Structure 1
Amino acid sequence: MLELSWPWFLLFLPVPLIMYFLPKTKPKGDGIWWGNTAQLIHHQDIKSVSNLFSWRLLNLTIAWILLVAALTQPTWLGEPTKITPSGRDLLIALDLSGSMKVTDMSLNGQTANRLESAKSVLSDFIKARSGDRIGIIVFGSKAYLQAPLSFDTNTINQLVQETQIGFAGEQTAIGDAIGLGIKRLEDKPSDKKVLILMTDGANTAGRVKPEQAATFAASQDVRIHTIGIGADTMLVQSFFGKRQVNPSRDLDETLLRNIAAETGGQYFRAKSTEDLQNIYQTLDELEPTPAEDIWQRPLTSLFHWLAFGSIVFFSLSIIVSKRLIWRKRSRS
C-alpha cells in the first residue's frame, strides 16, 4: 500500500506543460528568412536533430515527474507483521569461576564441563525469550556485565557463547553478582524484574554478602531464581584406580535456597544437562512472556529511489543537450 505524506506537491506536475503553452516572447530585431532550409541542413541531419530533441524532452519530462513524486514523500506500507510487546527485564548471572571446568556433565553423548552444558541450555532458553529484554552478568572473583538488557537475543546468545572459565577470576562472588543485577534492574517495573543466578559453589569472594544482597533485592522487588549446578557423584582416576567422589561438595545449597525464598523465587538443582533443560522449561512457565500481540506494518521510504531516478534522467537530458550543441558546431 502506497501513502503520500505531502500529496499536494502533485499540483506541480502540470507546471512544465503550462509554461509550454504560455505566449512566447518575440525576438528583437528582424529575422532572416531562408527560402530553402535544405540548403543549410541535410534531411538526415534534420531527422537526427529532431530525435535528439525528442529524447531530451522525454528525459526532462520523466525527471520532472520523478522529482515531484519524490517531493510527496511516498512511503510503502508492507504486510502486517506480528510482534510481541516488551515483557520482562531478565538478567542471567552465570558463574565463570574455576570450578565450572569440572567435567561432570554430558552433552550430545560426550563428557562436558559445567560451563559448556550451561551455555548449551542457555542458548535455547535465550532464543525463546521473544519480547523480553535479556542481559548477562558473569562473575567469578568479581562480577561484570557481559551484555546489557536488550531485545537482540541473537547478540546476547553470541556473547554467552564467547564466555570462558576464569574470565572473571577463579573464586565466586555471589553477593556482588546479585548487587550488580539489582543495579541494572533499578527503575524498572516491579513486576518484571527477574534475576536467574547459576552457580556451582559457595560465596568465597566479593565485598557484598549474599544474604544482604538478597534482602536488598527483595526490597527492590527483584525476584531471584537460583540454580545449583553439578553432579552428586563422579568417577575419578587415582593411584589405586577409579574412585567415586562428590564434585558438588562445595555447593552451598542452603544459601541458594535462602536467596530464592527471600526474593520470592525458586531454587533448582541441576545434576545433569537434562536437569538444566527441565529447569529452564519450568522457568519459561514461571516467567512467561506476554501473550498479547501487537501488529505493525513495516514502512519503506521511496524518496531516495525517486530522487535518484530524477537525477539520472536529468543527467541524460544534459548529455543529449551536449550532443545537440556538438552537432550545431560541427555544421558551422
Structure 2
Amino acid sequence: MFEFAWPWIFVLLPLPWLLRYLTPPAQQSLSAIRIPTLNGLQNTQQSMRTKPWLWLLLSLCWLAVLTAAARPQWLGEPLPVRAEGREIMLAVDLSGSMEIADMDLNGNKVDRLTMVKSVLGDFISRREGDRLGLIFFADTAFLQTPMTYDRETVRQMLEESVLGLVGERTAIGDAMALAVKRFRSKEETNRVLVLLTDGQNTAGNLTPDQALELADAFDVRVYPIAVGAEEVVVDSFFGQRRVNPSRDLDVPLMQRIADTTGGEYFRARSTDELEQIYQLLDQLEPITGSPQQLRPRQALFYWPLALALVLMVLIALLHFRPWRQRHG
C-alpha cells in the first residue's frame, strides 16, 4: 500500500500562486541606481508571462519538492513478530581481580575477563527474540547498554570493555540496585539478572543486603555466577606450589542472593562449566507478550526529489543560458 507519512505538507501547494497574485509589484524609483542583475530579474518575470512552459516547469518542480517532503513510502504486507522473549540484564565485574590468568581458553591461559567475553559473547548471540541489557561494575556500577533487541550492539559493548574502566574494587550491591531500577517499570517480563563476579563486595553506595531487599521487593531473579579457578600451580623461590586464586570469593553471599530471589548460584571454575551454566539459562521459560505485527516500509522520497532536480536543470538550460547569450 502506498501512503504519505506527512500528507499535510500539500497545504503549501498554492503558495507560489498566492505570492504571485497577492504580492504587489515593486515600485522602481527613477533615481534608483540601475543594477544589471535587477534587469535580469525583470526579464525573468517577463519571460514567465510570455512563456507558459516556464511557469509549467516551475509548478511541476514545486509539486515534486512537496511530494518528496511529504515522505512517500510503500508499506509491505504485515509480518508477524515473535511475541515471546526474555528480558535479561547482564552485570559483568570489571574489578582488578578479573585480570588473574587462571582460566583455559582453547588450550591457552587467559584472564577471567577474556574468558567471560568469549563465552558470554556466544550466549548473547543465541538470545534471538530476547531483550538484553549490559551493566559494568567495579568501584560503582553504570549501565553500558539499556534493554534492547540489538544483540550485536550488546556483544560489541562487551568486547570493548577493559579492566579498570570504573575502578579496581567490587560494588556488587550497586550493580544489583541498578538492575532493579531498570526492571522496575516493566510488568510482563522475567526480570532476570545474571551477575558475573569473582570476589566479594568491597565498594559501592549500597550494601548487597540492601540491594537484595530491593531485588526481592520487585521480583528480580538473580543468578550469581562466581568466576575463577580454585587451584592453580605457580612457580616460587621454593619451587612450584598450589594456590587458590578465588580465596576472596564470598560464596555465602552469592548463595544468599540466589536463594532469596529465587535464582540459582553457579560456580564457573572453567570455560566448560560457564558454557554449561549458559545452557541452563537457555531453559528459562520465556514470557508471552501480546501479539504484534510489523509492516516493512520502503522510502520513496528520492524519486520526486530526483525529478525536481532534473526540472531545475532543465529550466536553467532552457531559460537562463539564452538570456546570458543575449546580454553577455
TM-score normalised per structure 2: 0.73
Q: Which has the larger radius of gyration?
A: 1
1:249 matched residue in structure 2? 247
Q: CA deviation at 1:219?
A: 0.8
CA distance in 2: counterparts of 1:308 and 1:136, whole angstroms = 43
Counterpart residue identity of residue 300, structure 2: L
Matches within 5 A, 1:22-37: none
1:19 matched residue in structure 2? none
2:199 matched residue in structure 1? 201
Query: CA offsets, 1:250-293, max 9 Å, x none?
Result: 21222111101101111111111111111112112115475997
Instruction: Indicate how the Cα distance of structure 1 residues 69 and 174 shifts in structure 2: closer, same or farther if over 3 A, else same.
Output: closer
Matches within 5 A, 1:58-97: 74-78=72-76, 83-85=81-83, 87-97=85-95
Q: Is the 8 A contact 1:66 1:310 kept in 2?
A: yes
CA distance in 2: counterparts of 1:281 and 1:255, whole angstroms = 24
2:136 matched residue in structure 1? 138
Q: Is the 8 A contact 1:129 1:289 kept in 2?
A: no
1:223 matched residue in structure 2? 221
Query: CA offsets, 1:307-332, max 9 Å, x none?
Result: 331341343144124466678x59xx
Q: CA deviation at 1:61?
A: 11
Unaligned runs of 5+ in 2: 14-50
Q: CA deviation at 1:168?
A: 2.4
Q: CA deviation at 1:200?
A: 1.0
Counterpart residue identity of residue 127, structure 2: R
CA distance in 1: counterparts of 2:80 and 2:99, whole angstroms = 42
2:307 matched residue in structure 1? 309
Q: Is the 8 A contact 1:63 1:310 kept in 2?
A: yes
Counterpart residue identity of residue 250, structure 1: D
Q: Is the 8 A contact 2:91 2:194 kept in 1?
A: yes
CA distance in 2: counterparts of 1:178 and 1:71, whole angstroms = 47
Q: Is the 8 A contact 2:88 2:132 kept in 1?
A: yes
Q: CA deviation at 1:72?
A: 8.3
1:46 matched residue in structure 2? none
Counterpart residue identity of residue 283, structure 1: L
1:3 matched residue in structure 2? 2
Instruction: Indicate how the Cα distance of structure 1 residues 134 and 80 shifts in structure 2: closer, same or farther if over 3 A, else same.
Output: same
Counterpart residue identity of residue 3, structure 1: F
Q: Is the 8 A contact 1:194 1:222 kept in 2?
A: yes
**Percentage of pairs with the same residue:** 45
| SS at 2:248 equivalent | coil
Matches within 5 A, 1:1-332: 2-5=1-4, 74-78=72-76, 83-85=81-83, 87-189=85-187, 191-286=189-284, 288=286, 294-322=292-320
Q: CA deviation at 1:184?
A: 2.2
CA root-mean-square deviation:
3.4
CA distance in 2: counterparts of 1:112 and 1:303, whole angstroms = 52
CA distance in 1: counterparts of 2:256 and 2:167, whole angstroms = 25
Counterpart residue identity of residue 308, structure 2: S
Unaligned runs of 5+ in 1: 13-52
Counterpart residue identity of residue 111, structure 1: K
Aligned length: 285
Counterpart residue identity of residue 309, structure 1: L
CA distance in 2: counterparts of 1:322 and 1:59, whole angstroms = 14
